[in-house]
Chains A and B, each alone.
Chain A
Amino acid sequence: MFLRQRETLSFDRSVPGKRGMDLPKLDVPAARDTRPAHLKRGGFAALPELSEVEVIRHFTRLSKWNYGLEDGMYPLGSCTMKHNPRVNEKVAALAGFTDSHPMAPDALVQGNLELIYTLQEWLKEITGLPGVTLQPSAGANGEMTGIMLIRAYHLAKGSHRRVILIPDSGHGTNPASAAMAGFEVVELPSRPDGTISFEDVTDPVNGRVRKGLQTLVSELGTEIAGAMITNPNTTGVFEFRFKEISDLLHSVGALVYMDGANMNALVGVARPGDFGVDVMHLNLHKSFSTPHGGGGPGAGPVCCIQAMIPFLPVPVVVRATEKVGEGEVARHSYHWDWNQPQSIGKVHTFYGNFGVLVRALAYCFSHGSDGLREATLRAIVNANYVRARLKHAFALHIESPSLHEVVFSDSNQARHGVHTLDIAKRLIDHGYHPPTIYFPLIVPGALMIEPTESEGKDELDAYCDALLEIAREVEENPDALHQAPTQAPLRRMDETTAARKPVLRWAKA
């Protein structure tokens, strides 16, 4: 609850002599000063001097200016803001995990290694792909890892391919990751239904012809290393020709990368490995419920086909099974294998965001095979319920059947001079977090709603009621919407000045 309208920067409240941390008594001789004089630490310009009470109050008050998932529905499309179970936090905080050192000998961290091995087994079965690395720290890190695997795969065949195809509906991280991995990006156009176009597409505005998949594959052929495809795509629609797409790409030796950001629509229902995907990443902070933490940490495991396993980052976890007599329970031991001569190397300093992996496995154990499928179906039902309730007030730019998320356009409201941003800001006045806005880029004024399976009928109804009321307000009093939000601690922010004259840190006045 926003009880205070201001919480100043802690630097402005610093008072010399205050302490928030007492040090233990030093039980060894004081340090000799061995530093060269010029390398001796001078003063600090910003670190504040505050008591523990003040620091705790500062961060508690600041926290109240954040909308969190436990405040209510948070339907950011493509972000899968599902419930973050508290038991996952509890088990991830067990000292046996948090105190364990990444350089400790394998024999001393058998619990961690078994956990990593087990999570890999779950992800293999869920994706239908036999290779996994848990090393990537986030989705984008996973994308880059996957693209490097594609590069390594082709290089091992002696083939230097330079192009990655990416649909115009894809996340911005896709082209950025492909570029960081040294590839040239060629854009694939979408059809009016949001799916990838095989045929060339003529832009209705400028008459420019954009080459479709068929043309690009026949023209670029073996120049194509692979394609990065989000499925279901960013409009929440399954690429229904996926098998044909992958067959076509495979016919020129190219590989298919799947951006798994929308895996919440598929777990237990369809497996990428079964429909032609060669390599993909999962976002454990989306589909597997680990908290977003205001921006991270996440985890972006990569799964791949058999032929790409030799290129996975090092080290890889290996399970050895001790021979036992009949009727006895098999005993397993685990170790890291660093000897992978064809590996791309490393993408994380150690083994990935281990604490996030613990939470994701707890999510898996809680749900089980039955719960995972139930959650997927429920997420799809919820998105379609929102679609059914709102489709008369907000324009469905794309009519194809929605899976776990639904994308509306602001075209009905734009006629009254009200745009997506205004609608989003008014939702804040209704006590809700807005959906993802202005993405995907192929939908004008997009409002992308992903309720996830965590919402019940009451919460969905309240959210839809708020949006319907906003739609009525657009017709009755459109100007008022430009003022929104009026109920938040702050009104709209001057982002232009922020970028033109950046103030990026505090400095003493």
Chain B
Amino acid sequence: MRYLPSSPSEDQALLATIGVARAEDLLAGIPEGLRLHRALDLPTQCSEQEVTWDFMDLAQRNQRFCAQFLGAGAYDHFVPAAVDALVGRQEWLTAYTPYQPEISQGTLQHIFEYQTQVCDLTGLEVSNASLYDGGTACVEAALMAVRVAKKRKTLLVSRGIHPFYRQILATSFAPHEDLKVVEVALRDGVTDPADLQAKLNGDVAAVLLGYPNFLGCVEDLTALATPIHAAGALVVSVTQEALAFGWLEAPGKVGADFACGEAMSLGNRPSFGGPYLGFIAVKDAFKRELPGRIVGQTKDLDGRTGYVLTLTAREQHIRRDKATSNICSNQGLVALRANIFLQLAGPEGMKGLAEQNAAKAQYLRQRLLELPDMEAVPEQPFFNEFVLRYKGDMAALQAACLEESLLPGLDLGRFYPEYAGCILWCATELHSRRMIESLVETLARVPATV
């Protein structure tokens, strides 16, 4: 086994020092009857070459596309080569959580920079070292909201939040029988102000709003925040496409008390759903309620600036069952990709990329609407995703696209029965005019509905 630094003479020396004849003698602490007395029923070891072949074969069994017009929480963006090159360095890749700050300043300073940029994107004051993904970040934000709101036990969740995020919320809140999750309806693709008003009361801790929401629509946070704050509840903005922060005002500046969501768009690839990057940011008043690791700036004994894990009194290894969360691992390396990406992009890159995304999505929408079977739904401002109704045969559309190696948008009926027959389309900077035209041409050839 190539990974085991072992030779017969060295093995003998180790065993002799320990004072046993065979390695198996060291299993004495495991009662005989509880041991496995056969080999695992699995294939035997393989060379690196064989392993490589096996995985190339598996990877080839996934369909490749010229263009994916599918977003829905997982976005295809260009990843600068510097990102991959830098995260491959063993100092980033193989290090553990930075428990020993004197030899972990790289990771610690990176997280401090990452936290700073998340605050910048969201317009809020404190962030953490990252969470697992958009859905679990949503859960942490919601649990934090009911914690700070003390006696308030209801969480209002807009139907515009990603259906999978809502599903995780339901799973995580189910064990807490005193807490209630109530859905707020949509109207014309955005949270219905009348339904929101009707459901707001003194028991509501927070309201979760998509920004933009799952249907791609931009919610007017400012307008929605007014009644929510008047009812004494918190506004939590949930963003599943972090590149939107280059297009839309920071949620913290337009009424959000917490912002959370998914930042895989910043320097990561779709990767079949993970590993992704959950982010969270809050107003300063709530910093001691945040889940997970937080890095702070301090000095060493000689007065030199450095970074440490801090506010640890919130965490599981100190507080055990009274901790703000059970989280221990974060998404360190994925956050590093986002950090590098943001520093390469800078303010101009973020805005420029976001403008390109908006332009491509608008162009895609305009061209799709030229097709007789495509129909507008009530239009709201959108970023890089939008919904169109399709009067044709959805299966025929799918088949035609796949034939041209194009992955069409999401058939919404599965998640929103009221949008049956509608498709959620996405375009990013990766979609050239040629690809968009190719999609339109392909769809034009789909046989008309009988």
Contact = CB atoms under 8 A, between A and B. Distances in A.
A476 interface: no
Contacts of B326: 140-141, 143-144, 173, 176-177, 179-180
Contacts of B351: 41
Interface residues of A, number: 204
A417 interface: no
B42 A369 contact: yes
A126 interface: yes
Contacts of B378: none
A499 B312 contact: yes
Contact of B36 (A26, A35, A269, A377): A269
A109 to B, nearest CB: 5
B372 to A, nearest CB: 22
Contacts of B350: 44, 47
A339 interface: no
B412 to A, nearest CB: 11
B270 A19 contact: no
B297 A503 contact: yes
Contact of A294 (B39, B95, B127): B95
A105 B262 contact: no
A132 B65 CA distance: 31
A323 interface: no
Contact of A76 (B57, B96, B125, B249): B96
Contacts of B344: 20-21, 50, 52, 55
Contact of A176 (B320, B382, B429): B320
Contacts of A291: 93-94, 333
Contacts of B132: 137-138, 141, 296-297, 348, 353
B113 A367 contact: no
Given A67-B95, A296-B334, A380 B318 contact: no
Contacts of B187: none
Given A41-B250, A52-B344, A504 B126 contact: yes
B197 interface: no
A488 interface: yes
A31 B362 contact: yes
Interface string B339-367: 01011111111111111101110110000
A296 B80 contact: no
Interface in A35-76: 35-36, 38-50, 52, 55-56, 58-60, 62-71, 74, 76
A295 B97 contact: yes
B276 to A, nearest CB: 7
A328 interface: no
A267 to B, nearest CB: 8
A358 to B, nearest CB: 7
Contacts of A504: 112, 115, 126-127, 287, 294-297, 310
B119 A46 contact: yes
B45 A47 contact: no
B270 A99 contact: yes
A192 interface: no
Contact of A503 (B90, B135, B296, B315): B296
B17 A103 contact: no
B275 A137 contact: yes
B126 A237 contact: no
Interface stretch (B69-77, B150-158, B438-446): B69-77
B86 A60 contact: yes
Q: Which 3 residue pairs spanning A and B have beta carbons closest together?
A: A350-B273, A96-B59, A456-B5
B60 A65 contact: no
Contacts of B91: 63-68, 71
Contacts of B82: 52, 55-56
A501 B264 CA distance: 32
Interface string A94-136: 1111111111110111111011000000100110100000000
Given A44-B120, A91-B51, A297-B334, A498 B308 contact: yes
Given A137-B329, A385-B17, A240 B29 contact: yes
A85 B113 CA distance: 29
Interface stretch (B198-206, B227-235, B299-307): B299-307
Given A59-B86, A291-B333, A294-B97, A30 B359 contact: yes
A373 interface: yes
Contact of B26 (A47, A381, A457): A381
A349 B407 contact: no
A18 B34 CA distance: 64
A165 interface: no
B349 A19 contact: yes
A95 B90 contact: no
A202 B65 CA distance: 67
A158 interface: no
A335 B14 CA distance: 49
Nearest to B165: A349
A30 B358 CA distance: 8
A271 B35 CA distance: 7
A220 interface: no
A295 B334 CA distance: 10
B336 A294 contact: yes
Contacts of A84: 93-94
Contacts of A103: 70, 72-74, 410
B103 A9 contact: no
A114 B61 CA distance: 9
A6 B144 CA distance: 37
Contacts of A375: 1, 3-4
Interface in B3-33: 3-6, 10-11, 13-15, 17-20, 23-24, 26-31, 33
Nearest to B293: A295
Interface string A484-502: 0100111111110111001
B433 A27 contact: yes
29 contacts: A11-B113, A23-B349, A35-B381, A41-B250, A62-B110, A63-B92, A66-B107, A81-B94, A96-B56, A97-B271, A104-B63, A115-B58, A125-B41, A173-B328, A275-B34, A292-B95, A294-B104, A345-B171, A347-B171, A354-B275, A368-B43, A369-B41, A385-B17, A401-B29, A425-B100, A433-B103, A499-B311, A504-B115, A504-B297
Given A20-B345, A62-B106, A144-B326, A400 B43 contact: no
A295 B299 CA distance: 23
Interface in A431-483: 433-434, 436, 439, 453-457, 459-460
Interface string B229-263: 00000000000000001111110011000000010
Contacts of A66: 91-92, 95, 98, 103-107
B23 A377 contact: yes
Contacts of A495: 298, 308, 310
Nearest to B351: A41
B413 interface: no
A111 B248 contact: no
Contact of B273 (A44, A89, A144, A352): A352
A428 to B, nearest CB: 6
Nearest to A180: B326
Contacts of B13: 457
Contacts of B120: 44-47
Contacts of B165: 349
B374 interface: no
A178 B88 CA distance: 36
A67 B106 CA distance: 9
B305 to A, nearest CB: 8
